[in-house]
Structure formats: structure tokens, C-alpha cells
Amino acid sequence: MTDDLVRKWELSRRRVLAAAGGLGLAGLSGNAFGQPGGPWSGPPKSKVDRVNFVVWTYGDIYSRIAKQFEADWGVKVDSTISAFNDHPTKLATMFAAGEKIDVSQSSPFSFPNFVAQGLAEPIDGLPGAADYIKDFTPFTKQVATIGGKTMGLPYFSSVWVWNYYADMLEKLKIDKPFATYDEFIEHCVKAKKDGVSRYPVLWVAGVGLEQLPGTWYQMTWNRGGTFFDKQGNHMLGAGSVARETLKWWANTFEKGLDIADPESLKVQFTTSAKAFGAGKNLYRGPNHHYGLNVVNDPAQSPIAGKVKVHGSPGDGKTMGVTHVYFLSSANRDKEWAWKLLQYLGGKTKDGNYTQAISLAKDAMLGSGYNSVMNSDAVKQGWAPWGDVPAILGIWDKAAYIGEVCSSVYQPWHFPWTDQLNIEVQKCLTGQLTADQCCDNLIKGIADAKRKV
Amino acid sequence: MEASRAARRPWYRREMSARRFALFLNLPTLLFLGVVLAYPVVYAGYLSVHRVGLAQLRRGEFPFNGWDNYARVLEDPLFWVAIKNTLIFTAITVGAEVVLAIAIALLINQTGVWTSRVTRFLILLPYAIPPICNGLIWSFLYSFQFGFLNRILFSVGLIDQPINWAGNPDTALYAVTVPYIWRTLPFAIILVHAALQGIPRDLYEQAAIDGANAWHRFRHITWPMLQQIIAIILILRTAFAFAVFEEILAITQGGPGDATWVAAWYSYKITFSPPNNFGMGSASAFILTLMIAAIALVYMRTVYRRVTL
């Protein structure tokens, strides 16, 4: 018995020594035991009394992450939060007025412009940045890398999907949603004719960067077209896929088949999901997958649980985006700004992707990090609102929006989009033909280039 | 003797002339107006002849580019669409305001028509509503499928299909004029009502004795006495209507298409949307200012001068 004890003690002692040695090595390497040992866990050498970020609103995510930062580092976080559409204006005026901005964010559409105007600083070489870059998804790499430099960390990613109201489809005695665009029209015409829905389709076509333009981009891409080729030449000429798609799309409005809800031209991505929740339309889309988070939320939608996700016709090709957080060049202290940027777009002191995981669980947003996209945060977090395998299946068929419309990498994309919103809305309301609209947009490319 | 003694005094002990005294009294106001009004206008003029983006503003270095910004604004077709829409908007709103203000002010000025304080308060209430809130209220009212306006019209049988007030390019601009008139009308009513209160009652009594009917009394007494205030309303309301912005922002954001792009919206978009061309935005705002000044001058030289001489 004593021998047994000794043997155990000796074994145990060896184990303790081995474990201690292992711990020592782990400490040296900095990551074997985890995340607390990484560069995100140490305080910057400099001292500041506050830091700030300028962002667009999304629930209470920013008040929560600001509180966590304050608790972890004892530094106050000031936040300036605007509506999504007002954010570029707010950021621009603060920057122009010489105010301090440590961290801000951008959609992929305005980001090249912000970078060109000197609002953002590269993050390459900052402590831990290389680890983040290794974990970037392909979408993130495309949006965050400008001129060979990494200019930001991901906020969230999403892909364009369709939604349908299952009860209405059942009422129409249609066993499954459309598989072709012709079928889509058939279903909508039938819904209107049978008096089941006056306006069977709600397009997400309000003025913006990714509503109206995004809908056109996605349907063009799904049909095998793009807006610019690899050399940057436009693909909007006579007979182009983009032009034909626009003709088809415009025909769904009042002066054509009259199956499109007139509210389509006013709604943004969230408001369209809320409007769809009224249960008056059969189809909605194509737009961000996370609209399901609104339309299948019982607190926001009378038809919660009855809205299903659906892929695009044909081979199911779709597109996606990643929005970014960036280190502002108007920061008060680069080390602290980097620390704050990581809280928004990277890891918190405990080494977790706290914000990205919360966004997946609370808001159904996808992540710009492979490790988060492959985690249970997505698989379990999204489940209350939609068919996760179906959405991830659509995700696999998504290309980054830059492949569809490569002008998003150019500073002139933003002013061109302003014109695109006007011309396409005029086309959809019957003031212009699709041919006139595309011809105007072709002319507008040169004008937009002159504006920057 | 007294005068020569005064002349011998040092300047700071001499009696101040009336002109100098007036200047002295007006100095604080002039300084205030200079800082609050003149400086931004002059600065906008300065920016309008320079190349100004975010980076230049941050650095404080603006390369001079002459009349380039003005040329680019004037050759932009969208600017002329915005000007056309602004002129239509201004003509409708100013015309409607003048007519409605006179009608309502005459009504509440009638001794035979009793209007409670609550009624008078309600008439003035829209003027107290912030413009952006007014725009949001009306955007809800105009909502196509869920708006209150369509619901009322539907329930009283005036329509059998909802009308897309703010989303149809044929109606959107007119739809935006209504909230604007609703908000700004009380200002005109106050001015007209105050002017009506200033007309001596005995003029009406004498006219009544002479057998003048209501129309003749209005035509020959009220209207001539109101012309001065109406000229002022025309000048002020035209200037403000030319710069309409909040209702556009809240209700249509310039859409559908360019149906409700107005001059101030154009300046805003050029300036505050990437690529943030502050120089071109200032140029467009300056052109708008010059247009308002020209119209005010026309009013002054025609309507106002005619009624004050």
C-alpha cells in the first residue's frame, strides 16, 4: 500500500514537473494556453483618459462593448452613433472639423473613398494584426486590403438571399418556391390573380448603397453577368446581362406586370423586413440573410416563424459583403485606438471574438473571421430565425460584391452609386427605359471619376 | 463761444454726434450678425473657389481652382433638375401660404366668429414642431399600405386603392409641399392677423354706412392695407422655401429618382456624401444664395416699393 502511495506520489511529482515545464514553454510561445496570453491581453504603454468611436447604430452592441472596454482597461469610451445613412456625413464632418476619432466603421462601398481621403490608417505590423489577417475570410480580405495594405478589421458579413412567406405559398397550393425567374413571375401573377396578395413581391429597392443597387447587382450576377470586367470596362451595353436584368425587373412594377409593392422603392434592408412581416407579400429579396432576424422575431413580426429562406435560381450564385471597422488617422493615441478597434472588430482582453460572437447570436450577422463562421456561435446562434444549413449552403455559393461590381474598390463608386439610385428608380417608375437608364449610367462613369 | 469751447475739448470728451451714437448702439448687433451670418457666407464664398475635400479641410490647405466648381455645378444636369423642382416647390408653397394665411387670418379676425384660445393655439401649433419631426410625421401619414392618409380616404370611400403619395414621381413633389405648408403657414397667419388688427375699425364702419358689401370692403380697405405685409411674407417665405431641406430628407430623400431633388438637397449631397466635395457644395449653395438675393431684389423693386410709396 505504501509502495503504491510512493509510486503515485512519484508519478504525480513527475506530472507536476512536466506540467510546469509545459506551462513555461506555453508562456514563452504566447499562445499554446490560450488566448489570455496574446497581444490583446496586455495594456498599451501610453496613457489616455478616454478613447472614442464613431459608428452607425445597431441595437445596444456598442454600449455593451464600451462598458466591457471601460471595465477591462479603466479608460472611458465616448461613442458617436448615427443612423446608417447618416454615418458617412457624421464621420466626414467630425474629421473635417479636426475632432479626434479613434475608431470608425464603413460599408465596403464608401471604404475606398475614406481610405483615399486619408481617414484610415493601415493596421499591418500592429501587435496581433497578423493573427487576425490569417483568420480573415475571403470576403474580409477583399474589403480590408487596399493597395496591398490591411486597412481594417471585419464588422460583419452577410449574403444575399430570398425570403418567402410559407403560409401564402401553401394557400396558393404551390408546393415549393420558384426555381427559375419565369416561375417567380408565375407565382406572383397567380398570387395577384387569386387575390391572395395585391403586391406579391417586396423588393428591397430604397435609395442607398446596397438596397436598390444591391438588388440589381445580385440578380445580374445570378444570371451570369457583372457590371465591370477585370480591366474595369463597363458591362452595361446593349444586350448585356445587367441591362436585360433591369428590363425584367422594371417589368414587375406598376407599368408592367404590377406585381411589385410600391413600398419597394422606399424600404431599406431592415424596414423591408419589418414591412414583409405584415404578411402582405409572398416574396422578399434578394437581400441580406439577416432580415430573417427581424421577420421571424415574434416581437417584431406577426408572421414570425413562417418566413423561410430561399436561394437564387439556376446554380444559386449569389453575392455577399463584409463591413469593416478601421483605425482612424485622426486617433488620439495609436496604441489605444488599436486596442479599441480590436474590441469592436477583433478580440477582447480575454482573447475571445466577443463582439463577432454576440453579433452572430443576437443579430444573426455573419462574421469576417473563419474561426467564428465555423463555430457554434453561428450554427446555434442563427437557429431561432432560420434554416442554418440552408443559409450556409447559400453562403458557399456567394462571391464578394467586388467581383460583381468591381467599381466598389474605386473612390468614384460612391458618386456613381448616387446617380445609379436616381436613374434606376426612374426606370422602375417608368420615367426612363432600361436602355436609357444604362446609357445614362455609362455616361455617368466619366462624371463620377471627375468628381473625386 | 460754447461751440468753440466744445471744439477745443479732446475728441473723447466731445458730445457724440447722432450718427456716431447710432453706430455705437448698433455695433453689438453688427458684430453678432457679422460673426453669425456674414462670416459663414464669406467663408462659403472662399471655399467655393478652392478645391476642398476632407483631407484639405483637415490640413487647412485649400488649392485655389478659380471658377471650376461653379462651372461643374452649372454643367451638372442634376443641378438644373433641382433648380426646376425648387422653383415649382416655391411657387406652390408661397402661393398657397399667402392665400391660406389671408383666409384663415380673416376668419379668426372676425368678431362674429368665435375662436377659442385652444383653436388659436392649434392653428399656431405646427410652427412649433421641429421641421425634421414634421417630415417624419408626414412620412408615416403618406405610407402606401399602412399610412393614415390612405386609410382615411379609403374609409370615407374616396379611394378604392391606396395612393403612393410620396413614392410616385408624378405626385412626390406635390406631396412634399403639403407638410411644408402645414408647418410654415402659422408664421404667415400671425403676420397677416397682426396687420388686420392694425386696420382702423372706423374705416369698415364708414364703408358699411356707404353701402359697401363684404367683397368691396375687402377689395378697397383690407387688401390695400395688407399689401405691405404680404410683400414681406413673399420675400421671407420665398427665401425659406428656396432652402427647403428637412421635409425632403425625412419624406423622400430626393426620390423617387430625382423627382424631389431640390437645391438645398443637391448642395447637401454634393458636400456630405463621399467624395465630400465641399468646394462644389459651397459653389452650389452660393448660386442658390445669389438666386434668392435676386428674387428678393425683384420683390423689393416691384411689390414692396409699389406698396410703400
- The C-alpha cell of B243 is what? 432652402
Instruction: Tell me the per-residue pLDDT of B34-43, one tens digit each, with 9 for 90 and over.
Output: 999 899 889 9
User: Looking at the partner chain, which of A98, A266, A419 has a beta carbon nearest the beta carbon of B167?
Assistant: A266
Cβ <8 Å between A422 and B255: yes
Closest C-alpha to B237, from B166, B295, B284: B295
Q: Which pLDDT belongs to residue A24?
A: 44
From chain B, pick out residues whose CB is under 8 angstroms from the CB of A429: 168-169, 256-257
Q: Which pLDDT belongs to residue B308?
A: 60
Q: Which pLDDT belongs to residue A352?
A: 93
Residue A391 has pLDDT above 80, yes or no: yes
Q: Which pLDDT belongs to residue B5?
A: 67
pLDDT band at A20 (very low <50, low <70, confident <90, very high): very low
pLDDT band at A26 (very low <50, low <70, confident <90, very high): very low
Cβ <8 Å between B257 and A425: yes
A121/B contact by beta carbon, under 8 A:
no
Contact present, A236 and A242 (Cβ < 8 Å) = yes
In CATH, what number does A46-156+321-381 get? 3.40.190.10
Residues of chain B with pLDDT > 90: what percent? Answer: 65
A 96-115: CB under 8 A from B:
96-98, 110, 113-114
DSSP string, A320-384: EEEEEEEEETT-S-HHHHHHHHHHHHS--TTSS-HHHHHHHHHH--B-SBHHHHTSHHHHHHSTT
Q: Which pLDDT belongs to residue B304?
A: 67
From chain B, pick out residues whose CB is under 8 angstroms from the CB of A423: 257
Closest C-alpha to B159, from B181, A129, B171, B169: B171
From chain A, pick out residues whose CB is under 8 angstroms from the CB of B145: 261, 263, 275, 278, 280
From chain A, pick out residues whose CB is under 8 angstroms from the CB of B276: 92, 96, 117
Query: Considering chain A, what is the average pLDDT of its residues?
Result: 90
Q: How close A76 gets to chain B, by Cα (Å)?
A: 25
Instruction: Describe the crossing of helices A413-428 and A434-451 by its angle, rounded to 10 degrees.
Output: 160
From chain B, pick out residues whose CB is under 8 angstroms from the CB of A330: 58
Residue by residue, what is the 3-state secondary structure of B221-282? HHHHHHHHHHHHHHHHHHHHHHCCCHHHHHHHCCCCCCCCCCHHHHHHHHHHCCCCCHHHHH
A209/B contact by beta carbon, under 8 A:
no
Q: What homologous superfamily is domain A159-320+400-451 in, according to CATH? A: Periplasmic binding protein-like II (3.40.190.10)
Window from A51-55, A287-291, B34-38, B48-52 with minimum mean pLDDT = B34-38
Q: Which pLDDT belongs to residue A119?
A: 93
- The C-alpha cell of A386 is what? 432560420
Mean pLDDT, rounded, for B230-244: 92
Residues of chain A with pLDDT > 90: what percent? Answer: 76
From chain A, pick out residues whose CB is under 8 angstroms from the CB of B169: 426, 429, 431
A271/B contact by beta carbon, under 8 A:
no
Cβ <8 Å between B168 and A98: no
Instruction: Tell me the per-residue pLDDT of B113-123, one tens digit each, with 9 for 90 and over.
Output: 777 778 878 88
Q: Which pLDDT belongs to residue A278?
A: 94
- Give the best-scoring range by mean pLDDT among A290-294, B14-18, B41-45, B287-291: A290-294
Does the predicted interface ipTM exceed a cut of 0.90? no
Q: Which of A101, A207, A261, A422 has the highest number of chain B CBs within 10 A, making it the mutation to test binding with B?
A: A422
Residues 6+ apart with CB under 8 A from B102: B192, B226, B230
Task: Decide which of B120 and A133 is more confident.
Answer: A133
pLDDT band at B142 (very low <50, low <70, confident <90, very high): very high
Instruction: Tell me the per-residue pLDDT of A198-244, one tens digit each, with 9 for 90 and over.
Output: 999 999 999 888 899 999 999 999 999 999 998 899 999 999 999 99
Residue A247 has pLDDT above 90, yes or no: yes
A14/B contact by beta carbon, under 8 A:
no
Closest C-alpha to A208, from A59, A435, A424: A424
Cell 411644408 -> residue: B180
Window from B91-95, B272-276, B287-291 with minimum mean pLDDT = B272-276
Cβ <8 Å between B275 and A425: no
Cβ <8 Å between A92 and B54: yes
A240/B contact by beta carbon, under 8 A:
no
Mean pLDDT, rounded, for B198-227: 91
Residue A245 has pLDDT above 90, yes or no: yes
Q: Which residue of B has its CA nearest to A85?
A: B273
pLDDT band at A1 (very low <50, low <70, confident <90, very high): very low
A118/B contact by beta carbon, under 8 A:
yes
User: Looking at the partner chain, which of B144, B269, B277 has a beta carbon nearest the beta carbon of A263?
Assistant: B144
Mean pLDDT, rounded, for B172-191: 95
Q: Which pLDDT belongs to residue B27?
A: 94
Mean pLDDT, rounded, for B185-204: 92
Residue B108 has pLDDT above 90, yes or no: no
Residues 6+ apart with CB under 8 A from A442: A234, A236, A237
pLDDT band at B58 (very low <50, low <70, confident <90, very high): confident
Do the strands A318-328 and A120-121 form a parallel or antiparallel pair, or are they unpaired? antiparallel
Q: Which residue of A has its CA nearest to B164?
A: A262
From chain B, pick out residues whose CB is under 8 angstroms from the CB of A431: 169, 257
Residue ranges of chain A that CATH labels 3.40.190.10: 46-156+321-381, 159-320+400-451
Q: Which pLDDT belongs to residue A7?
A: 47
pLDDT band at A6 (very low <50, low <70, confident <90, very high): very low
Q: For chain B, give every domain's residue range.
A: 69-308
Mean pLDDT, rounded, for A43-60: 91
Q: Which pLDDT belongs to residue A368?
A: 96
Q: What homologous superfamily is domain B69-308 in, according to CATH? A: MetI-like (1.10.3720.10)
